[in-house]
Amino acid sequence: MWNYEKRLEYPVNITTPNPKIAQIIMSQYGGPDGEMGASMRYLSQRFTAPNRIVAGVLNDVGTEELAHLEMVSTIVHQLTCNLSLEEIQNSGFANYYVDHTAGIWPQAAGGVPFNSCEFQSKGDPLTDLFEDLAAEQKARSTYDNILRLVKDPEVADPIRFLRAREVVHFQRFGEALRSVQDELNSKNFYAFNPSFDAKTFCAATQPGAGQGNCCTR
């Protein structure tokens, strides 16, 4: 269960619409390294987390990514609010407008729709956490690219905040990965899925859980 505070995690107050920039930033809503995929990735992976540290990080970061999804959609909305038909045509926004008017819809900057195949939930904590580390770096790189193209300080300010949070998330996933490695023999870090293959893994980390998957938290 979540408690929803009806405010953005960081304020977004854009006074000058710019549909050309909106099409770039939209990629962090529903693009291959965007916030929609990130939130779904982490909130799905948490169920097979091998310990409470990993489960907590996945739950916390996945929840924050939902807040980032809200921020990015707000940025796109404010950049496309009250456009004239002339602005739509001159900015290259016409193709999007035909399908969605000025509604928010998940797609990459290149127009490719969001697809859940863009993220993975493998049920292997090492595999999942390495994907999570890479995902945060890819998102940070995307925000870097956006900041090179965005000159409006009203837009750049919340984008810089989002970029900074990707760095923090990368650090937290690194700590989560270390917590898993500390519970394993260092020779077996990458040899098997500790949540599924090692029958003693649950007994060692979750007393009373029995053999097999750690289904009891």
Q: What is the pLDDT of residues 37-53, one digit of tens each?
A: 999 999 999 999 989 99
How confident is the model over 133-143, as a mean pLDDT? 98
Mean pLDDT of the chain: 89
Query: 212 pLDDT exceeds 90?
Result: no
Cα distances from 208 to residues 50, 122, 211, 214, 215, in angstroms, run 14, 25, 9, 10, 11
How confident is the model over 189-217, as a mean pLDDT? 56
Nearest Cα to Cα of residue 24 among 156, 152, 146: 146
Give the residue with greater pLDDT, 203 vs 104. 104
pLDDT the model gives residue 206: 52
Query: 201 pLDDT exceeds 60?
Result: no
The three-class DSSP label of residue 31 is coil
pLDDT the model gives residue 217: 46
Instruction: Give percent above pLDDT 90 in the chain.
Output: 78
Please state, in angstroms and rounded to a whole number, the distance separating the CA atoms of residues 18 and 14: 10
pTM, full prediction: 0.86
Tens of pLDDT along 63-110? 999 999 999 999 999 999 999 999 999 999 999 999 999 999 999 999
Question: Encoding tokens for residue 126?
Answer: 């090492």
Tell me how crowded residue 142 is: count the other CB atoms within 10 A of its CB. 22
